[in-house]
Structures are given as C-alpha cells and as structure tokens.
Chains A and B, each alone.
Chain A
Amino acid sequence: MTDLLTLAATTATGLPLGITEGGAWLLRNAWLIPALPALSFVGILFFGKRMPRGGSELGIALVGIAFVLSLLTAAAWIDHRDNFEGEEVHRAVAVAEGHGDASGEHADEGHAPGHPSLAVHNTITWFELNDVTFTVGTLVDGPAVMMLVVVTLVSLLVHVYSTEYVAGDRRYTHFFAFLSLFSASMLLLVVSENTLQLLVSWELVGVCSFVLIGHWWEEKPNSDAALKAFLTNRVGDMGLIVGVTILFFTVGSALPGQFGSFSIAETNALAGAGRLSHTALLVASCCLMAAVMSKSGQFLLHTWLPDAMAGPTPVSALIHAATMVVAGVFMIARMYGVFFEGFSIGGSSINLMALIGGITTLIGACLAFVQRDIKKVLAYSTISQLGYMVMALGVGAWTAALFHLFTHAFFKACLFLGSGSAAHAVHSFDMKSDMGGLRKAMPHTYRTFVIGSIALAGLPPLAGFWSKDEILVGTGGWGLFGGTGGNGAYTFMLIMGVITAALTAAYMTRCIYLTFFGEFRGHGNPHESGPRIIVPLWILAGLAIVAGLLNLPKGFPLVPESLQERFGHFVEPVAAYFPGISHGTPSWSLAIASTLVVLSGIGLAGWYYFIKVEAASKAAGRSLTELPDGLTTRYPLAKMGHTFLVQKYYLDHLYTDIIAGGTKGPVAAAAYKVDQDVIDGAVNAVGENAVKAGNLVYHRFDQPVVDGLVNASGRASSGAGWELRRIQTGKVQDYAAILFAAAMVLAGILIVIV
C-alpha cells in the first residue's frame, strides 16, 4: 500500500541492482535520518552528563551518521531520478489531464494508472477517527533530499565547532542535547509527508530555537530575546494552523467521500489541477504566508531574528542562518502548488509573496549598514537573503529560490561561524569598539570570512553569484535585453533585487573593514581559534566557492550539457503535485550587469572605508570606524535616515510600545485625554450654561420642591450603597452563598412558571 510503485518498477525493469536496491531502501526509510539525532537527544539528555565529553561525542557521532545517510540518500535519489527520465514525462502529462491524485494509496485503488510522482512516499496510519485517517510518513523528493544534506552537513559542522566554542559552559550537555533535538525536528520537517506533521516539526524547531537563544538565560536580554522570538513566532504559527486547517477542509470538499486530507502531495496536486476553490487557496496562502513571515523573518515580523543573535554563535549559524529560518522558504516550496494557484504566480501580477520578499530584501540590506554588532549585520543580511528567496518564490523562480537557499546555507553559516571565531578571540561582538585589524591575528578566520562575503555579495564564480543571478533571471524583468522571463515580467522585483545586490556588497565590505582592517581597537591579544573552529570554517568556505557550480545555467559554454543545471534537474520535482512553472532563460547581459552593480557597491564602500576612513585614521592617529565629518554629520536628512535605520524603522517601538503597551498605557492615556478634553469639555460647557440657567430657576422652584425629592433619592441610593457594601465582604464563601441562593431562586421561579 505504502510502497512506491515506481520503485517496484525499478527492480521489475531489471535495472542494475546494488545501489538501486539499497537506494530504494534508503529512500523509503528516510525517517531514519531524523530518528538518529532524536536518539542522540534522548541519549544526551539521560546519559550526557556521565559521558567523558559531556554528550557531545554522541551528538557528533549520530549526526555524522545521519549526514552519511543523507549523502547516500542523495546518491540514491540521483540514481532514481535519472533512471526515470524518459518515462515520467508522459506520466506527468497523463496525470495533469486526469486527476491530480499523487498519493500511493489512491494509485493502488486504481485512480491513477501510472504513478505520476517520482517522489518516494512512505506513510503509515497514525490513527483513525471516524472517516479521517491521520498518517505520518516521509515524502522524499528533490527538495527534501537537498535539505537533508544541507541540514545534516551544517549541523555536523556546527556540532564540531561548538565543542570548542561552548567548551566549559555550565550547560554544555544541555546545549548539545537541544542541538540534536533541533536537528531531528528540522529533518523531520523536511521529510514531512503531511501538513500536520509539518506543523508539529515546525513548532518543535521553534521550541528548540527558543531554548537555544535563551541558552544563557541568566542575562535578561537573552531571555527577553528568546521570549520575543517565541512570541513573534506564535503570531505566525497561528497563521500556519489556520492555513493548514483551511487546506484540510478544502481538500476534503474536493475529494468525494473524504472528510479532509493533510497530505501535502494530494493538496498540491488538487490545487494544481484546479480542483480547489481559488478563494480558499488565496486565503490559505495568506495564512501560510503569515507563518513564513514569522519563521523566515520577513518584513513586519522579522524583528525577532536580530535579537535572536543573543544565542550562542553556533546556534545562530545553524538555526538562524542556515536551517530553521529557511523553514518558511521550504514550506512555500513544499506547498508550492497551493501558493502558485493561490497567488496566481504564473500571472505576472505582483502578489503578496513577491512583494513581501522584495520589501524584506531591501529593508534588511539597509538595516545591515548601521549595525555595530557583527552578528546583527549578518542577521539583517540573513533577513535580506531570505527576502530574496521568498521574492524568488513569489515570481515563480522556484528552482532559483531553492538553489539560493542551498548556497546561502553554506556561505552564511561560514560567515556566522567566522564572526563567532572573531568574537571568541576578542570576547565581544562589537565591531566598532572591540574589533579591527584582526586580519593579521586571525588569518584563517579572515580568509574564510572574505570568501563567505564575496559569495554573499555575489561575485563570480562563487556560489552566491549563480544563485542570485538565477533569481534575477527568474523575475523575468530583463526581457528587454535578450533573456526571457519565467512567469511573466516582474520588473519591480528585478529592480529591488539589483539594488539589494549592490547594498549587500557594500555592507559586507563595511563589515570586513571594521572587523579585519585598521588597527585593533579592543583589549587583550586576540589569537586564531583552534582547529575545531577553523576546519568547519574552511569546509564551509570551500563549499561557498564551489556550490554554485552545481547549477551552471543551460547553455553555459565549455561545459558539457550533462553538467549544466544539475541542481535544478535533481531538485525540482517532476510530479503532479508540483505546478508547471516556466524557467527563465539566462542572459549574459544580466549577469554582467549584476556583477557590475555588485562591483560598484564594493567599490563605493571600499572607497569610503579603505581610502577615506583609512586616511582619516592616519590623520587622527587612531583607528576610526567612520569619517568624523561624514554625511550623517553634515546633512540633517542623512542623519534622520540614519536614525531611522538605527531604530529599525521603529518597528520594535510599534510592537512593544503601541501594540503591546496599548492595552495598558497609551490607549488608556488617549482615552483619558479624550475623556478630559472632549467629554469633560462638553460636560463643563453644558454645566456652566446649566448653572446660569439653574440659578434663575433655583430660587423660584428648585429649592423648595425639587430639592426635597433629589435629596430623598440621594439618601436612598447612598443608604442602599452602604447596605450593599456589606455584601462585598471579599470572602469567597459569601459570594458562593449568594451564587447558590440566586441560582436556586431563579431555578425555582423557572420551575414554578414552566
């Protein structure tokens, strides 16, 4: 029932055994990969303190095995994908015409004669409730396999790195336990077969993020940051819950005889086949988008991510750069059929997703300029790059977005770990007051950081260039100059992307100058970190260099066609649950133009820091971090802009002061003000006039007649108040007596009447 038909066919058609046999087993049993870190979590939790290295060895060993398994799974997937190239195309067509039912179970029942999906489905029934069956299982396809490799690799490197970074920490064992739990949850998320499972793992990674941000909770800012991250994510999670629920019932209404379905493949396939109501899909997409906004730090709900840097640096690298924050992006990619239809992405009109992504990428990049804290620069950079991915998904450049996710994981993890290495040496994250000139003291950190920065900035041939350029191609806005668009012309997104590219290059140049050039401004004598920090750095830097070559554009000269666009070939699902996106055609002119833009960004920032600031430093005799008479001091408008950025667009003020504080502070104050000025004013005016009129009446009529009555009623109410006051004894039993007696009297009346 749950086995994959195509895999059964693999052996039946007599393909070479060996990797296929084992590979089929691996693809079917992908649950093993999340299970290993979960096992490690339990092991470390119970026995970690008794292990010679505090549990870290168990975590590294099991995550290492998970990594090896992921690599083998990837190999099996490549084999599986290639051996079905010829057949599945017409299968996909057949299904698009028929019904979009992609799950193995229904194929068994004779719905779909040819299994449409290359994905390996393995589900078991979790529980049944009347007609609804809840399943758990794995859906292994291109994106899942890619994420498995990325998550296990980064997690493994971070585990190794952490053994040095948090060495001697009082909660060393605890740290590794949650690192393992996080890895397990994230891996579970990527192989989730249904949205319910996705939701569970989504919450689990959120909890791990909370625990790890607050790892040093004794300091108030850290626990505040953890709470902020958690609560902001709750806002989005509500969107996820509502969206998943809507989809559940929407799918149920489209399938006769079924109450609902959580199956991702089924939902996407039905959405893609146009069997679901567009309104429901739009609403569900908007709800899911809220979840993406919080988890992936998109504009409006991104404010938690920079604060989350309060956690240990390895956590930032793993959770808040490479893996958890891309969960939102991955979720969009997973539910792409829903989003594609819901937002009409194929229709070239600007949609919510592309807009949010575009805004986020730009505002994140702007904020990165004004940070003093090196990790916050990287945090805003992450927000910006996540915006890039969401924007790419919003314009239909699915493959480009996932490719960017892939490359970004490596170079951003490299940058974070590099910043941690530098901060470890100087015991501070403040670039302006405690860093500078680290180039000589920390050559390895310096080199890897520069490699990561170039990759992030997007200079060829490093990884970031290829993925960023693909996104720009995917916007289709460059149609004028030769290349053609993917899903219509999103020129606006192209412009935002290009501006961000320039900004990214510039702020990374600033960051490198402040950290590694000039003279050392901190205290002590910084020295290079140990091998357990350096080796992961170099591995990630190496990947940052070469990862981009995995997806050379089609038609790239001097490279055999079998090596072009490998990433897209293997990762993009060919299945009924994946919408028919169209791909942009790469263009040389765009590549050259974007490179020039990046170079101009680097050039401008370089000119400012490496020439002007350097000269000013020499003149001043100390290491400066900015020009003493820079733009912000000379022009008030620039100063205002700077302040606006330093205050993070005042969003935190909006949330904490206005929205959160509203119930107790400002709204109350405003209400009071209205009360005082408006109502009281009116009352006073009325009163003054009344007094005048009253004085006339007073002596004639009021005093003898009315006053008598008024005084009597006043005395009566006062007396009643005094009497009633005795009821308010504050004793719970008296209240209970009144409650019971009143209820009984009312019940008695009811009985008598009825």
Chain B
Amino acid sequence: MIAMAALQGFDSLMSGDTVVAQNIAFGILAVVMIVAALRMVTTGNVVHAALYLVIVLAGVAGIFILLGAEFVGVTQVLVYIGAIVVLFLFGIMLTRGALGEDEEADTEKRRMAVLVGVLVLVVTGGAVLDSFGDAAVNRAAPSLTAEIGDTIFSQYIVPFEAVSVLLLAALIGAIVVARKD
C-alpha cells in the first residue's frame, strides 16, 4: 500500500527540488508512522505502546506541517504529545495491574481483527483511489494562523462554543465518573 502511495508520488519526483524533498519527507514519515503504529497495536508492553503512540502522533504533526497546516501541527504536538499521552501514561500507572507484559489476545480474536482491519483498508483505500485519481496538493504558502483564528471566531463561533461546553461537560463527567465515594 505504501509502495503504491510512494509510486504515485514518484511521478512528480522530477518536477522540482521542493517536491522531491517533500516526497522524501513524506515517505520517511509514512514508513516510520506505519511501523510505529503496527508496533503500537502489537507490542505486549503497555508503556512501550504509549511511546510508539508518541512516534505516530509526532509523525502526524510532521504530516500536518508538510501540508502547510503549521498551527494544527503545533497544536497536535502540544495537545496530543504534551497532554493526552501524559494522560495515558497516568492511566497506565493508575491501573498498575496491567503494567508490563500484556498477554496477547487469543488467536481467534486476532484473526477476526486482522480480517476486519484488512477489510477496512481495502474498502477505504479502494474508495480513495477510485475518487481522487491524481489530485495534487500544491500549496503555495502555509495557511496563516491569523486566518484560522478569524474564521473560528466568526464563521465557526457556534461549534467553537459547543466545543467549550463539551469540554466542560467532559471535565465534570470525568470527575463524577472517576471520583471515589
């Protein structure tokens, strides 16, 4: 699959230095991410899984920057790697019975999961290839953070407020669910 993506990328390899650099960066990122993601879902050690998740998330941030979405990339690093992964590590520590080697799922279950995963990959990949033949990403300049801010606080103000209420609700909900009484 990656080979396929890379092959398609190689068509435009010759069109300029930047593009070449971008494609090389993408290829490295993609390979690292997929390997890390696969290790994450197969490793027996929970803490290792969290660290592999960090690699994937950092890769995603790299992809964002490659796509010119600097602000989203930085947010990704701050929120995901800075906060969410730390939260996961705390979760792992608090459920310490599960720390260390995690016995693998039974084979029947894994077979089912592999089957469904491959099905997902085939269908979504097929749909993607079918729909976006050779649309190219040719961004002249990265998107401006100021523009994102303007758009959030005008056009998307209602979803923004809704998200803030959601965060509050999640905050209260998490406290209510997890508190001891």
Contact = CB atoms under 8 A, between A and B. Distances in A.
Nearest to A736: B116
Nearest to B126: A751
Contacts of A747: 123-124, 127
A741 B116 contact: yes
Contacts of A744: 116, 119-120, 123-124
Nearest to B109: A733
B113, B115, B123, B127 interface centre (most CB from chain A within 10 Å): B123
Contacts of A734: 112
B120 A751 contact: no
Interface string B100-123: 000000000100110110011011
Interface string A717-754: 00000000000000001100100110011011001000
Interface residues of A, number: 12
A558 interface: no
A710 interface: no
Nearest to B130: A751
A693 interface: no
A740 B123 contact: no
B112 A737 contact: yes
A737 B113 contact: yes
A611 B95 CA distance: 76
B38 to A, nearest CB: 18
B157 A129 contact: yes
A744 B125 CA distance: 11
A741 B113 CA distance: 10
A698 B24 CA distance: 81
A734 B111 CA distance: 12
Contacts of B112: 734, 737
B119 A741 contact: yes
Interface residues of B, dominant DSSP? helix
A748 B128 CA distance: 12
B44 to A, nearest CB: 18
Given A129-B157, A751-B130, A737 B116 contact: yes
Nearest to A749: B123
Contacts of B116: 737, 740-741, 744
B7 to A, nearest CB: 22
Contacts of B113: 737
A751 B127 contact: yes
A745 B116 CA distance: 10
A733 B112 CA distance: 10
B157 A751 contact: no
A130 B158 CA distance: 11
Interface residues of B, number: 15
Given A737-B112, A737-B113, A748 B123 contact: yes
A108 B103 CA distance: 76
Contacts of B123: 744-745, 747-748, 751
B108 to A, nearest CB: 11
Nearest to B118: A744
Interface in B38-61: none
B120 A740 contact: yes
A320 to B, nearest CB: 29
B61 to A, nearest CB: 27
Nearest to B113: A737
Contacts of A745: 119, 123
Contacts of A733: 109
Interface string B25-41: 00000000000000000
A402 B143 CA distance: 60
B161 to A, nearest CB: 10
A513 to B, nearest CB: 48
B58 to A, nearest CB: 27
A733 B157 CA distance: 36
Contacts of A130: 154
Nearest to A750: B127
A744 B127 CA distance: 11
A748 B115 CA distance: 15
Contacts of B124: 744, 747
A130 B154 CA distance: 7
Interface in A10-36: none
B90 to A, nearest CB: 23
Interface string A251-292: 000000000000000000000000000000000000000000
B49 to A, nearest CB: 17
A747 B113 CA distance: 18
A748 B116 CA distance: 13
B164 to A, nearest CB: 13
A476 B157 CA distance: 52
B31 to A, nearest CB: 25
A616 to B, nearest CB: 55
A135 B130 CA distance: 52
A733 B113 CA distance: 9
Interface in B64-86: none
A665 B138 CA distance: 65
Contacts of A737: 112-113, 116
A129 B155 CA distance: 9
Contacts of B119: 740-741, 744-745
A644 B170 CA distance: 47
A731 to B, nearest CB: 9
A734 B109 CA distance: 9
A643 to B, nearest CB: 42
Nearest to B158: A129
Which of A130, A733, A740, A744: most chain B Cβ within 10 A?
Answer: A744
B157 to A, nearest CB: 6
Interface in B141-177: 154, 157
A423 B38 CA distance: 73
Contacts of A751: 123, 126-127, 130
A470 to B, nearest CB: 47
A260 to B, nearest CB: 15
B151 to A, nearest CB: 13
Contacts of B126: 748, 751
Nearest to B112: A737
A129 B120 CA distance: 42
Nearest to B155: A130
B51 to A, nearest CB: 24
Contacts of A748: 122-123, 126
Interface centre among A130, A745, A751 (most CB of B within 10 A): A751
Nearest to A738: B116
Contacts of B127: 747, 751
A744 B122 CA distance: 9
A745 B122 CA distance: 10
Interface in A519-555: none
A354 B120 CA distance: 65
A198 to B, nearest CB: 21
A708 B170 CA distance: 59
A130 B109 CA distance: 53
Contacts of B109: 733
Interface string A98-112: 000000000000000
A385 to B, nearest CB: 39
A165 to B, nearest CB: 31
Interface string A557-581: 0000000000000000000000000
Interface string A380-417: 00000000000000000000000000000000000000
Contacts of A129: 157
Contacts of B120: 740, 744
B1 to A, nearest CB: 16
Interface in A641-663: none
14 contacts: A129-B157, A737-B112, A737-B113, A737-B116, A741-B119, A744-B116, A744-B120, A744-B124, A745-B119, A747-B124, A747-B127, A748-B123, A751-B126, A751-B127
Interface of B: 109, 112-113, 115-116, 119-120, 122-124, 126-127, 130, 154, 157
3 residue pairs, one from A and one from B, having the closest CB atoms: A744-B123, A748-B123, A744-B119
Given A130-B154, A751-B123, 11 more contacts: A129-B157, A734-B112, A737-B112, A740-B120, A741-B119, A744-B119, A744-B120, A745-B119, A747-B124, A747-B127, A751-B126
